[in-house]
Amino acid sequence: MKNLIDKLRNTQNLSREELLILLKEEDEETLEYLRKSAEEVRIENYGKDIYLRGLIEFTSYCKNDCLYCGLRRSNKNAERYRLTMEQILDCCKQGYQLGFRTFVLQGGEDNYFTDEKITDIVKSIKQNYPDCAITLSVGEKSKESYQKFFDAGAERYLLRHETADAEHYKKLHPKELTLENRMNCLKNLKEIGYQVGCGFMVGSPYQTDENLVSDLLFIKKFKPHMVGIGPFISHKDTPFKDEKNGTLEKTLKLLAIIRLLHPKVLLPSTTALGTIHHKGRELGILWGANVVMPNLSPTNVRKKYMLYDNKICTGDEAAECKYCMEKRMESIGYKVVCCRGDYKDFKSFSREN
């Protein structure tokens, strides 16, 4: 099995069958070898630096009905909010003072935020903080909309593909949402020149190891700049309320495989991972991740952005979260750095630098 791990590390390439074997591996010594290989490759590419992203969850309204998500429109128990331009700029101000140089604007698909409103927000942030990167994560839009956001100054976009298997996609989404459209959006984002992030939940309902291999092969082919993965966690007011959560072990294994498959990728150790295990985010870093995304949203709205049950960091001020994260990373010998943290070798980000 170590041969397979070496092969993956040296060639960034394994067949479908080989990936499946690796994914099913449970021997502790072999898994430690996988972890160590991923950590080494991560250090070769990014040293012991941890990139920070300040997450601003600016709307909890969503017109979609993804079966797994607490913000889905059918969830009548969800409390909804929208941040104003002033509130968003306030989050950035606080974040900037704390050393954040990337702001991630994330929200449900909320038609209140027209292209014009999003463009205005992006422009205002850019005007105030020209040395910061802006990442958008607002779902599926037309190529024209993506282009407008890009022209306004957004340079990164996160849109998890959720699963690369069309049949599995159908089991997680209502029929108006298709994998075809999702993939088309990702293609458009890349063509425009964004640094693009795809990703998926580990242990989502009906997911098989074969599905996960398809996700890995998709990542290998698409070569995204970022990959967001975290365990699926059930939400009490969704159709998946009784489904099992994804596991720590599987998520860590996948983080390591993704690092070896795509060495320069920006790979967050996610809040969901920190939710299923008290040291989840630290472990994510030790298994190859190199990004953390503390929350900059105002504390009074945090509990309303409940994608899944028991989400952590919902009662803490931005400064507390940042400090806590710094300590956590120091405790494992890593260092949170104050910079934009772009993808290594990315050409078009130079329009700002």
To ligand FES, the closest distance from the beta carbon of 280 in angstroms equals 11
- Nearer of residues 118 and 321 to ligand FES, judged by Cβ: 321
* Structural tokens at position 122: 């992006």
What does the per-residue mask of binding to ligand SF4 show for 28-67, with x meaning CB under 6 A?
A: ----------------------------------x-x-x-
Instruction: Quickly count: other Cβ atoms within 10 Å of residue 124's Cβ.
Output: 17
- Point out which span in 84-92, 121-129, 261-269, 315-323 binds ligand FES (CB under 6 A): 315-323
Query: What does the binding site for ligand SAM look like in residue numbers (CB under 6 A)?
Result: 68-69, 71, 106, 108-109, 137, 139, 159-160, 162, 201, 230, 232-233, 235, 272, 307-308
What does the per-residue mask of binding to ligand SF4 show for 295-324, with x meaning CB under 6 A?
A: ------------------------------
Using CB under 6 A as the binding rule, the residues of this chain from 93 to 132 that contact ligand SF4 are 108-109
Told to check if 292 binds ligand SF4 by CB under 6 A, we report no
Instruction: Pick one of ligand FES, ligand SF4, ligand SAM, none as the site partner of residue 87 (Cβ within 5 to 8 A by kind).
Output: none
Instruction: Quickly count: other Cβ atoms within 10 Å of residue 86's Cβ.
Output: 9
- Point out which span in 37-45, 221-229, 249-257, 318-326 binds ligand FES (CB under 6 A): 318-326
Q: Enumerate binding residues for ligand FES (CB under 6 A).
A: 294, 313, 316, 320-321, 324-325
Q: Enumerate binding residues for ligand SF4 (CB under 6 A).
A: 62, 64, 66, 69, 71-72, 108-109, 139
